[in-house]
Amino acid sequence: MVLDLDVFRSDKGHDPDAVRKNQVKRFKDVALVETVIEQDTEWRNRRHKADNWNRMKNTCSKAIGEKMKKKETVGDENEAVPLSMVENLEGITLDDLQKLTVNQIKKVRVLIDEAIEFNEKALLEAESKRNSALREVGNYLHESVPVSNDEEENRVERTFGDCSRTGKYSHVDLIHMIDGMNAEKGAVVAGSRGYFLTGAAVFLEQALIQHALHILFRKGYKPLYTPFFMRKE
């Protein structure tokens, strides 16, 4: 969603400086605001000229109609339009046209058509440049938004629960943290992969065994505890 064009128009009661300041807060190109204002001014001028040219074209048709009603001669086809009128085409009035012949007025209308075509191209070019820059101008920031070019100055709005960071530990780290293993003495007794469980780790192992036995018992299995000795035969 782009900003309304009126916010760039001081004659509409708005302050373009507010848009410039907003661009600064966003760390964006302020020149885009100037481009929008310049091209919008050009577009509005061209739009005004287009209306004037169309009115003048209608005035030419009106002048020709009046002369035809009066049955005036159309004049020489080769008779040129006075240079003063050509140079001041935008300022020609109905009174000026009444001094010309029908053929001269037709030539004035041709000049007006050329001016309309030229003006239309300039109008579309200004509109394209204006809209292109307008799309790049950021929307207004809320007054509560912190001004920062990166995330370092972001403000914490609210937190939920314990947001403290904790490290990730392997099972080896965890067993040492609870003093649940003696690997040195285990290696002496049983080799490099041997270890003694100690303290809480012993209770944890027994708890896991009991938990597994209870699950199997509920599924219909019968626990069995074997003797430690066997006959030789």
19-30 pLDDT per residue, tens:
999 999 998 999
Q: Tell whether the model's pLDDT for residue 166 goes beyond 80.
A: no
**Residue 42 predicted with pLDDT over 90:** yes
Residues 6+ apart with CB under 8 A from 213: 223
Q: Does domain 5-136 have CATH number 3.20.20.60?
A: no
User: Distance (Å, rounded) from C-alpha 7 to C-alpha 1?
Assistant: 14
Q: Do 5 and 140 touch, CB atoms closer than 8 A?
A: no
Q: Provide the token pair at 69.
A: 């009603």
Lowest mean pLDDT among 31-35, 167-171, 216-220: 167-171
Flag whether pLDDT at 206 surpasses 90.
Answer: yes
Determine the number of helices (DSSP H) and then strands (DSSP E) in the chain.
8, 2
Q: Work out the angle between the directed axes of helices 31-69 and 16-25 (0-180°, nearest 10).
A: 150
The two tokens of residue 230 are 């066997």
pLDDT tens digits, 45-79: 999 999 999 999 999 999 999 989 988 888 888 88
Query: Are the beta carbons of 196 and 217 closer than 8 angstroms?
Result: no
Q: Which residues contact 39 (CB under 8 A, 6 or more apart)?
A: 126, 127, 129, 130, 133
Q: Does residue 165 have a pLDDT over 80?
A: no
The pLDDT of 152-170, averaged and rounded, is 81
Residue boundaries of the structural domains of the chain? 5-136, 171-218
Total-model pTM = 0.61
Average pLDDT over every residue of 197-204: 94
For residues 45 and 37, what is the distance between their CA atoms, to the nearest angstrom? Answer: 12
Residue 164 has pLDDT above 90, yes or no: no
The average confidence (pLDDT) of the chain is: 91
- Residues 164 and 91: their CA atoms lie apart, in Å, by 77
Determine the Cα–Cα distance for residues 58 and 97; give it in Å rounded to an integer: 12
Instruction: Check if the beta carbon of residue 102 is closer than 8 Å to that of residue 75.
Output: yes
Over residues 101-126, mean pLDDT? 94
Residue 64, number of CB atoms within 10 A of its CB: 21
Is the separation of the CB atoms in 179 and 199 below 8 Å? Answer: yes
The strand ranges marked E within 60-186 are 181-182
Question: Per-residue pLDDT averaged across 143-153, rounded?
Answer: 81
Of 226, 227, 223, 198, whose CA–CA distance to 210 is shortest?
223
Q: Dig out the tokens for 232 from the structure.
A: 């030789």
The pLDDT of residue 33: 95
What is the C-alpha separation between 123 and 163, in angstroms, rounded? 57
